[in-house]
Structure 1
Amino acid sequence: MHFKSSHIRQFWFILIISVGLNGFVNAQISQQEKAALLDFHQRMAGENWKNAWNLEEDVLSWEGVKVKDGKVVEINLFNNGLVGVLPESIGQLKNLTHLNLAFNSITGELPKQLIQLSSLKVLKLEMNRIKGELSESIGQLENLEELTAFNNFLTGNIPESLGSLKNLKVLNLSSNNLKGQIPNSLGSLSKLESLGLFENALEGNIPSEMGKLSNLKELVLANNRLGGAIPIEFGQLASLKILQIQNNRFESFNSLRLMNTKELLAFDHDAGADFNFDFDNPNKDKTRMVDTKFEDDDIDNK
């Protein structure tokens, strides 16, 4: 069977146009999602952002917005001059997997509609001025792998429901005004690699369940009001590289002797001079996580 060259050219032309139109259609987002983005832009003083959105252009050109298959899957507006309270309409962006709003001037409480983002894997809210309590409903974000909200004004207790986030690898709620005890449920986070609760008002004993965190590499609990004895189960934390527990109210550090401290890269405590621990890492004086201050010139010191 033979085809004329003109027919072949016509075939390829139609195919190219079809693919192009399909890509154009896929690039469009629903009116609901676009409305949510426009509301977000208005409520967060978008006209003053460092990298402003040109609302006359296609959504694909908007800074920090990623669209896949016609759905908004990522918003990354790190250090972009956002000001104001997160709008309830953010819950309409149900396909988001990444939301990074760190290092801005976001105020007010987190909207309860945030839990509607059921596909969310990464939620970064650090270095803002967010207040209020973390809702127990946050445990419904079952796909969450990273939750960072350090250096805000969060209050209340750490939600027990965080223990339901079985995919969580990073949890950092340091430098807030959290109180109460560390929930036992955090011991269920089998994939957790980094836990930062530094500089809050946490009290009570460290849960023994935390000894189950076999993948934990960083544990930062310094500058709280934790008491009692260091759990003997700490000896089971085989992956631990950074442990910082200084400036608390512990009554006994004896369990630390059961730990393989030679594997630690940073170990900050105030157990006393009679506790002599060995380190494999010769650079003992390198910057510790707990000593690092995250500051930005555009954000007033807290």
Structure 2
Amino acid sequence: MKNVINCACLVFVLFFSCMVNAQISSSEKQYLLDFNKSTNGEQWQNKWDLKADPSSWYGVEVNDGHVTALKLYRNNLTGSIPEGISKLSYLKTLNLAFNVLEGKLPEDIFQLEKLTDMRLEMNKLTGDLPKDYSKMTQLKELSIFNNLLQGTIPDGIGEMTSLKSLNLSSNYLEGSLPKSLEKLDKLERLELFGNKLAGAIEVDLGRLVNLKELILSYNQFEGDLPSGMATLSNLEFVQLQGNDFRSLNSLLRMQSSKLAVFDSDDEFLNLKFGTTEASRTRIVDTKYEDVKRN
């Protein structure tokens, strides 16, 4: 009898613990409700039962009583991301890619100190990038390609010192590359294809020692390519075509043994680094990853 009682108590404790862990604060729940309304939740592909516990909602992950992930990739979200997302202060993953979101980014979206992955690509987001990234020291991936963003790449972007992947391709960004990019020494992928970025590149690319992919094609860069790029021994994928570079001669000394694709407007360098016509298809395949990452 004693064993039965002990077993019953254990089950109750575990059940109660699970229920407590599943609960989230009223402010977090209210933001999710606001988000659902602002992005037309009734039209989502996978809808939320607003009467059920938020931990059961599609794409919402809850740990220790807090929302830690919001994964709504390709879910027919329309409308805009509402202000107040910083209420999800324990959020680690935000994936709203491949939807039809419009409007500006919330001012507080870059106040999420625990965020490691932010994927907002393939939407219709507008406006400028924020200037302050000082709280984003844990962010490893920032992907906002194929939106309608304007303005310059702010100097503050160099504050995201854990960043491994930065993809801002296919927007309307202009101006020069900020010198602060040199601080991103963990960066493995820098993708800026198809913007209106211009001028000489003053960034010492040689400081990005872990860089594997560098995509600067189809902008308005000019002048000489920084000589430091030739020292990047981990480069695997490089695309520079469609710019107004005066010279790429500094790359003649490039010794990256891992280089698989090199595309530029210099046919001699293309031949030297073994570029084939087949590699050019990669430019239209900028990180369109599968649903498994949502």
TM-score, normalization: structure 2?
0.93
**Helix, strand or coil at the partner of 1:234:** helix
| CA distance in 2 between partners of 1:166 and 1:149 (Å) | 18
Among candidates 39, 43, 48, match of residue 48 of structure 1: 43
| CA distance in 2 between partners of 1:225 and 1:172 (Å) | 18
Q: By how many angstroms is 1:287 displaced?
A: 5.3
2:278 aligned residue: 285
Q: By how many angstroms is 1:234 displaced?
A: 0.8
> Is the 1:265–1:284 contact (alpha carbons within 8 Å) kept by the matching residues of 2?
no
| CA distance in 2 between partners of 1:293 and 1:265 (Å) | 16
Among candidates 253, 259, 263, match of residue 258 of structure 1: 253
2:33 aligned residue: 38
Q: Note the residue ranges of structure 1 that are not aligned, 5 or more in a row.
A: 1-5, 296-302
Q: By how many angstroms is 1:21 displaced?
A: 0.5
Q: By how many angstroms is 1:275 displaced?
A: 6.5
Cα 1:184–1:78 shift into 2, 3 Å: same
**Helix, strand or coil at the partner of 2:170:** coil
Q: By how many angstroms is 1:236 displaced?
A: 1.3
Q: Percent same amino acid at aligned positions?
A: 40
Among candidates 24, 29, 32, match of residue 24 of structure 2: 29
**Helix, strand or coil at the partner of 1:243:** strand
> Is the 2:189–2:211 contact (alpha carbons within 8 Å) kept by the matching residues of 1?
yes
| CA distance in 2 between partners of 1:76 and 1:268 (Å) | 34
Q: Note the residue ranges of structure 2 that are not aligned, 5 or more in a row.
A: 289-294
| CA distance in 1 between partners of 2:197 and 2:26 (Å) | 44
Among candidates 193, 206, 210, match of residue 188 of structure 2: 193
Q: Deviations over 1:240-266 (max 9, x none)?
A: 000000010000111110112653111
| CA distance in 2 between partners of 1:12 and 1:83 (Å) | 49
1:97 aligned residue: 92
Q: By how many angstroms is 1:286 displaced?
A: 3.7
| CA distance in 2 between partners of 1:104 and 1:274 (Å) | 39
1:3 aligned residue: none
| CA distance in 1 between partners of 2:257 and 2:277 (Å) | 12
Query: Which structure would you say has the larger Rg?
Result: 1
Whether 1:206 and 2:167 are equivalent positions in the alignment is: no
1:243 aligned residue: 238
Cα 1:91–1:288 shift into 2, 3 Å: same
**For residue 284 of structure 2, what is the amino acid of its counterpart?**
D
> Is the 1:184–1:210 contact (alpha carbons within 8 Å) kept by the matching residues of 2?
no
> Is the 1:155–1:176 contact (alpha carbons within 8 Å) kept by the matching residues of 2?
yes
**Helix, strand or coil at the partner of 2:150:** strand
Mean alpha-carbon deviation: is it higher for 143-152 or for 11-20?
11-20
Cα RMSD of the aligned pairs, angstroms, is 1.8
Cα 1:231–1:116 shift into 2, 3 Å: closer
Aligned residues: 288
TM-score, normalization: structure 1?
0.91
Whether 1:57 and 2:52 are equivalent positions in the alignment is: yes
| CA distance in 2 between partners of 1:250 and 1:179 (Å) | 16
> Is the 1:232–1:258 contact (alpha carbons within 8 Å) kept by the matching residues of 2?
no
